[in-house]
Structure 1
């Protein structure tokens, strides 16, 4: 996870949920390294480093899509 820009992060850019989908991973890496003139804080996340390293979507028997959707369902909601 890399945070860029001023203030608290307001945006999140995520890639690498499926390690074999390389274009998003390359994009996030380029954005993290670029000299961007950001107006607010942005978090850049490579979501599944194990799968990225193995160049596959599931480093173990758990489905990353089901795991992440479960995390999102159980998160506190802001109002």
Structure 2
């Protein structure tokens, strides 16, 4: 479900203001879950050394998969 929310925007040399922006809760959850998976994989020694995934990466991927279905 898409809704509208307001986010603060800094003004260019002047006062800032609130701006209306579209928000999609499902998209945000999906992106957050995928970012957690990528952040883990980029810093995990096990994931970097083995083409398979460590148990934490598997769990994070499962969470990401649940947000896309």
Q: Indicate the structure with greater helix content.
A: 2
**Greater Rg, structure 1 or structure 2?**
2
- Which band: TM-score by shorter chain? under 0.3
Indicate the structure whose relative CO is greater, using CA pairs within 8 Å and at least 6 residues apart: 1
TM, length-normalised to structure 1: 0.25
TM, length-normalised to structure 2: 0.28
